[in-house]
């Protein structure tokens, strides 16, 4: 058996892969938060609940209509994204002229309501979601066995994260979004329907969370708390990466997942706190986060 | 043939929060004219511009563009009707490259300048097109970019808020040439200026504002004989 720093290779690589998987979810969730924060100036505390909704919608689609995993990967984000659009239009849009704190409180309240409704309807013990047949099994990479589904999650997350990054940084739509983040009234005075752009941005950020939720469904059991388990770490990721930074969210998300995984190998006692330690160190050295722009 | 009224403003009132800034502004701009708003700081010139675009908290009265009322429209629909705005602070976006800044405003009508025509008017912008952050440009280049990007859109009515403010004389001359060039292409321009010597080189008529109202109108040809009056209005 290969030993690395006195640690059996398979154990190290196994934890690294787990770290990458968690990192993939951190990255997708913090990316949605960053996009929403940039455009709406709202810290979307409901993000975890919407991630959970994505997993539940996939489960319900399968249970009630027999719609499988891959169609759900498209359908659930669309359904939850539409729900997000309704939320933004009816409730969240009323807060734009108020302090950040109101948006945070409202979305926190929304997440409690959403989670409560699902707990009431489905209990909190968790529902199983089967890995699709084509992604069953594992592949021998030579140094370790990798479950195929986990490899797929990392790949899908990377593709989604970098597509989002490319849309925002490299397209004319992205240029309009960036400009509206800087000076929304002027962009509107150029003829862009900014309120509609804001609504669709929220819907897209929410859809990203739901997409992550569907990816998560076969790994973690589908239960009403699955979002809250993630969201604390995700907010730390957002702070470390720099509020509103797209690239920061992606790099920090994957990076912290890996750091967490390695900590589990070398000093398991600290694995739950290492992310927050990193946050404290980063905030002391660079208060605006690793990729944050100066205010 | 009667002149076509491009912009007709009557009894325009505007507020920022509780403060009442415009108190019944009346003036008009004919198609193809360059008209300036002159006046001291705080007279309401910029607020008039922003009110035309719908960018103030509250506005009342009438702003007719090509005969259609726009007072109840959102800014994006006013822009789509064919009015383009170049703000005093220029509004160049730092997170966008120079090219992205140039291409940002959507096309609202056919007949705007092509990118090649824009580069012919502003050769500096062509040289700086690859600059990654629009705000890295010099003040003069940013002003040219701010004007250039609204020439692309096909809007025929341009609102330029103090385009010469704080710029070197050679750049002011270039902006003057640009305004005469776009006038010769049939654009209509409403210009806010502190510098009436510059205004005199480009404009057909001047409106003088004081305390949120239009108090006088001077034809450019009469500007010489109205100097005493103008000095009094502007306090220069």
Q: What is the DSSP string of A29-72?
A: HHHHHHHHHHHH----TTHHHHHHHHHHHHHHHHHHH---HHHH
Give the number of A-B residue pairs with CB atoms closer than 8 Å: 60
Record the tokens describing residue B81, joined without a space: 């009707």
Helices (H), A66-223: 69-90, 100-122, 148-170, 172-182, 184-189, 194-216
Per the CB < 8 Å rule, is A186 touching B87? yes
Nearest Cβ partner of B53 from A181, A187, A189? A189
Q: Give yes or no for A169 touching B (CB within 8 A).
A: no
Question: What is the rounded CA–CA span in Å between residue A222 and residue A232?
Answer: 18
Interface test with chain B among A189, A245, A248, A294, by most B beta carbons within 10 Å: A189
Q: What is the pLDDT, as a whole number, of residue B1? A: 40
- For each of the domains in chain A, give its residue range(s) and CATH number, in order of start: 21-128+151-285 (1.10.3470)
Question: What is the rounded CA–CA span in Å between residue A218 and residue A69?
Answer: 9
pLDDT digits (tens, 9 = 90+) for B63-88: 999 999 999 999 999 999 999 999 99
Q: What is the number of other CB atoms lying within 10 angstroms of the CB of residue A254?
A: 22
Nearest chain A Cα distance for residue B132, angstroms: 11
Structural contact between residues A231 and A47, judged by C-beta atoms closer than 8 angstroms: yes
Nearest Cβ partner of B105 from A181, A190, A193? A190
Closest of B37, B43, B39 to residue B236, by C-alpha: B39
Q: Give yes or no for A178 touching B (CB within 8 A).
A: yes
Task: Write the burial class of residue A80 (CB in 10 Å: 0-12 exposed, 13-18 middle, 19+ buried).
Answer: buried
- B interface with A, Cβ–Cβ < 8 A, is 53-55, 74-76, 78-80, 84-85, 87, 91, 93-96, 100, 103-106, 108, 150, 153
Q: What is the pLDDT, as a whole number, of residue B195? A: 84
Report the SS3 class of residue B107: coil
Q: What is the pLDDT, as a whole number, of residue A218? A: 94
pLDDT digits (tens, 9 = 90+) for B184-205: 999 999 999 888 889 999 999 9
pLDDT above 70 for B3:
no
Interface test with chain B among A34, A170, A177, A191, by most B beta carbons within 10 Å: A191
pLDDT above 90 for B107:
yes
pLDDT above 90 for A270:
no
Higher pLDDT, B171 or B235: B171
Q: Which residues of A touch B108 (CB under 8 A)?
A: 191
Q: What is the pLDDT, as a whole number, of residue B225? A: 86
Per the CB < 8 Å rule, is A191 touching B55? no
pLDDT digits (tens, 9 = 90+) for B12-63: 999 998 899 999 999 999 999 999 999 988 899 999 999 999 999 899 999 9
Q: Which residues of A touch B150 (CB under 8 A)?
A: 190
Closest of A207, A70, A89 to residue A134, by C-alpha: A70
Closest of A281, A239, A284 to residue A26, by C-alpha: A239
pTM of the model: 0.88
pLDDT above 60 for A131:
yes
DSSP structure string for A274-293 = HHHHHHHHHHHH-TT-SSPP
Average pLDDT (B146-171) is 93
pLDDT above 80 for A4:
no
pLDDT above 80 for A7:
no
Q: What is the pLDDT, as a whole number, of residue B181? A: 92
Q: What is the pLDDT, as a whole number, of residue B85? A: 96
pLDDT above 60 for A250:
yes
Structural contact between residues A108 and A101, judged by C-beta atoms closer than 8 angstroms: no
Structural contact between residues B216 and B229, judged by C-beta atoms closer than 8 angstroms: yes
Per the CB < 8 Å rule, is A194 touching B76? yes
Closest of B146, B180, B147, B178 to residue B32, by C-alpha: B180
| Total number of residues shown for chain B | 236
Confidence of residue A1 (pLDDT cuts 50, 70, 90): low
Per the CB < 8 Å rule, is B93 touching A176? no
Computed over every residue of chain B, the mean pLDDT equals: 92
Question: What is the rounded CA–CA span in Å between residue A211 and residue B71?
Answer: 43
Q: What is the pLDDT, as a whole number, of residue A119? A: 94
Residue A81 has phi, psi (to 5 degrees) of -60, -40
Q: Which residues of B touch A184 (CB under 8 A)?
A: none
Q: Give yes or no for A89 touching B (CB within 8 A).
A: no
Question: What is the rounded CA–CA span in Å between residue B187 and residue B152?
Answer: 12
pLDDT above 50 for A54:
yes
The continuous run of DSSP H or E covering A234 comes out as helix A226-241
Per the CB < 8 Å rule, is B85 touching A189? yes
Structural contact between residues A278 and A259, judged by C-beta atoms closer than 8 angstroms: yes
Q: What is the pLDDT, as a whole number, of residue B2? A: 52
Average pLDDT (A211-240) is 91
Question: What is the rounded CA–CA span in Å between residue B82 and residue B71?
Answer: 15
Higher pLDDT, B18 or A112: A112
First to last CA, chain B: 39
pLDDT above 80 for A197:
yes
Task: Write the burial class of residue B170 (CB in 10 Å: 0-12 exposed, 13-18 middle, 19+ buried).
Answer: exposed
Structural contact between residues A27 and A88, judged by C-beta atoms closer than 8 angstroms: no
DSSP summary character for residue B44: S
Nearest chain B Cα distance for residue A181, angstroms: 9
Average pLDDT (B97-112) is 93
Record the tokens describing residue A180, joined without a space: 């509206």
Record the tokens describing residue B233, joined without a space: 């209005």
Confidence of residue A245 (pLDDT cuts 50, 70, 90): confident
Q: What is the pLDDT, as a whole number, of residue B197? A: 86
CA distances to A97, B39, B205, B222 from B234, in Å: 37, 6, 16, 16
Spacing of C-alpha A73 from chain mean position: 15
Q: How much of chain B exceeds pLDDT 70, in percent? A: 98
Residues 6+ apart with CB under 8 A from B222: none
Q: What is the pLDDT, as a whole number, of residue B236? A: 63
Q: Which residues of A touch B74 (CB under 8 A)?
A: 188, 193
Nearest Cβ partner of B79 from A175, A179, A189? A189
Nearest Cβ partner of B104 from A179, A188, A193? A179
């Amino acid at each position: 058996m290969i030993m690395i720093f006195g640690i059996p290779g398979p154990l190290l690589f196994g934890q690294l892969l787990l770290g990458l998987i968690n990192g993939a979810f951190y990255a997708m969730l913090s990316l949605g938060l960053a996009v929403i924060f940039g455009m709406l100036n709202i810290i979307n505390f409901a993000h975890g609940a919407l991630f959970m909704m994505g997993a539940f919608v996939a489960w319900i689609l399968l249970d009630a209509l027999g719609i499988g995993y891959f169609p759900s990967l498209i359908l659930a984000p669309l359904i939850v994204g539409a729900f997000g659009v309704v939320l933004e239009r009816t409730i969240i849009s009323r807060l734009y002229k108020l302090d950040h704190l109101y948006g945070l409180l409202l979305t926190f309240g929304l997440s409690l309501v959403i989670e409560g409704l699902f707990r009431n309807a489905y209990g909190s013990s968790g529902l199983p979601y089967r890995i699709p047949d084509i992604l069953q099994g594992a592949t021998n990479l030579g140094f370790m066995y990798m479950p195929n589904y986990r490899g797929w999650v990392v790949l899908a997350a990377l593709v989604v994260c970098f597509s989002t990054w490319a849309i925002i940084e490299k397209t004319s739509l992205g240029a309009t979004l960036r400009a509206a983040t800087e000076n929304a009234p002027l962009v509107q005075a150029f003829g862009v329907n900014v309120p509609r752009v804001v609504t669709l941005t929220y819907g897209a950020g929410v859809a990203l969370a739901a997409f992550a939720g569907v990816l998560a469904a076969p790994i973690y059991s589908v239960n009403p708390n699955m979002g809250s388990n993630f969201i604390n770490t995700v907010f730390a990721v957002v702070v470390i990466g720099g509020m509103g930074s797209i690239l920061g969210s992606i790099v920090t998300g994957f990076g912290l997942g890996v750091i967490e995984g390695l900590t589990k190998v070398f000093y398991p006692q600290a694995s739950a706190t290492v992310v927050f330690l990193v946050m404290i160190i980063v905030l002391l050295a660079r208060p605006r986060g690793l990729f944050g722009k100066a205010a | 043939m009667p002149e076509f009224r491009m912009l007709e403003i009557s009894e325009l009132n505007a507020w920022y929060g509780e403060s009442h800034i415009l108190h019944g502004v009346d003036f008009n701009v004919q198609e193809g004219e360059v008209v300036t708003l002159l006046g001291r700081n705080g007279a309401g010139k910029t607020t008039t511009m922003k009110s035309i675009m719908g960018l103030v908290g509250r506005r009342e009265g009438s702003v007719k563009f090509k005969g259609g009322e726009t007072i109840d429209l959102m800014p994006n629909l006013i822009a789509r009707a064919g009015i383009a705005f170049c703000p005093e602070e220029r509004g160049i976006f730092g997170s966008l490259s120079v090219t992205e800044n140039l291409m940002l405003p959507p096309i609202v009508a056919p007949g705007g300048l092509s990118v090649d025509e824009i580069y012919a008017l502003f050769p500096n912008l062509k040289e700086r097109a690859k600059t990654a952050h629009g705000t890295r440009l010099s003040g003069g280049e940013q002003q040219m970019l701010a004007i250039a990007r609204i020439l692309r859109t096909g809007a025929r009515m341009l609102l330029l808020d103090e385009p010469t403010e704080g710029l070197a004389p050679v750049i002011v001359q270039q902006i003057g040439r640009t305004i005469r060039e776009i006038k010769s292409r049939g654009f209509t321009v409403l210009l806010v200026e502190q510098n009436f010597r510059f205004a005199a080189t480009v404009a057909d008529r001047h409106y003088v504002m004081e305390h949120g109202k239009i108090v006088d109108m001077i034809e450019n040809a009469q500007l010489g004989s109205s100097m005493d009056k103008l000095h009094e209005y502007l306090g220069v």
